[in-house]
Amino acid sequence: MRQLEELERVDLSALDDDQLHRLVVSDFELESRLASIRAAHLAEWDTRRVWATDGSRASWARLGRECSLSEKHAKSELHRARWLRSMPATRAAFGEGKLSVDQVNLLTKVLAPAIEEVFVRDEQQLIDDVVRPHRVSEAQRMLDYWKDAAFGEVGRDRPFFNPDGRHWTAVRGFQDSVEISGRLDPIDGTEYLNELKALEQLEYERDWAAAREEHGDGAWPGDLPRTAAQRRADAQVQMARNSRACRQGRYRQPRPLLTVHVGLGTLARMCELADGTVVSPGQVFPKLFEADIERIVFASPSEVIDVGVRERFFTGALRRAIEVRDRHCTDESGCGVVAEDCQIDHDLEYCEGGLTTQANGRCRCAFHNLLKEHRRHKHKPRPPDDLPPPDDTS
């Protein structure tokens, strides 16, 4: 309690930027240590069935009710607490603030009874690997590949989502509204999410245009006429309109693109979607009959020596080589924008004699490409006003 009281008394206005940054980071380290202590208490409370003393039907039900947590949050807390009891190295790193709550959740979710012995053997190495990446998404991908190898080591097939479990419902609801819910397999679901994201961005740009027309250059996110949830709903309707136009012959349906990586051992075993979602070869195989195929040959992790072509001529091979090499924005901040949404930027500027070659090209998102220009001109940038605001789904 004393430490919390000391934090409350900090005069934020007296801190310089570097001190404020270190304070924010230390806040999250403190949160991790507190979450570790809470997990130990919660595990004992769960094991001794203290939650059942008032007649509650489940531990998560009482935890959620008395701590004002959602069902999902309560179950997540219990899942983490239960698994941490058998993860001593993870528990220790968590208690020292070396692992965030999100990183611990990744480690607990990768563990399964069938591969528990392999996990015990590799636990410290996995912790080191999870701590190393700047992006949680990189840790997720690394753990997915480890899980594949662990199941193979014990002679078992890793369980993936069964496409037979896909379902989708759209029914009339209250006041004739349409209620939608469902589940898609990772590949088809990613295709759906990517298109929805693209259409949401178009709706977002329309909102900014409308806000600027009404409020001028001083418009801010609060002036946007729709919430993020409303734009997402409108994007769903636009998907239906695009489908109708396609059936009427006005659009040509795109084909999926499968990229085969050749060389460098681990790269040759990669099997993941453009956004980093790890999938099995068995999930990809059915798509071979409807997809275009390109081949990427690596000489080293930073050099693509050949980009194959599809049946129809595949333009932009140089850009594609850089995309599959970098995979996401390469800004030193650890930005996670995927390569397909990035610009390809010259390391040594073209105007300064830089060549348009693979060695001189890097993926950078629009913001960090602009930021690089501001850094070159040695003045602090103003973030572009077209960056999406926090998701205002409420």
β partners of residue 278: 272
pLDDT in tens, 358-391: 888 888 888 888 888 777 766 544 555 444 544 4
The region of weakest confidence among 2-16, 31-45, 153-167, 313-327 is 313-327
Contact 108, 77 (CB under 8 A): no
Q: Evaluate whether 372 touches 354 at the Cβ level (below 8 Å).
A: no
Report the alpha-carbon distance of residue 90 to residue 92 in Å, rounded: 5
Residue where the block lists tokens 């992006």? 135
* Residue pair 133/139 in contact by the 8 Å Cβ criterion: yes
Average pLDDT over residues 4-10: 85
Residue in the structure block whose two tokens are 């020292």: 96
Predicted confidence (pLDDT) per residue in 176-221, tens digit? 888 999 999 888 888 899 899 999 999 999 999 999 999 998 889 8
Delimit the domains of the chain by residue range: 2-153, 180-247, 257-376
CA distance 172 to 331: 47
Backbone angles phi, psi at 258, to 5 degrees: -105, 130
Cα–Cα distance for residue pair 99/93, rounded to 1 Å: 6
218 vs 147, 202, 214, 223, 248, CA distance in Å? 50, 21, 10, 10, 42
- Residue 376: is it exposed, middle or buried by C-beta count within 10 angstroms (0-12/13-18/19+)? exposed
- The size of the chain, in residues, is 394
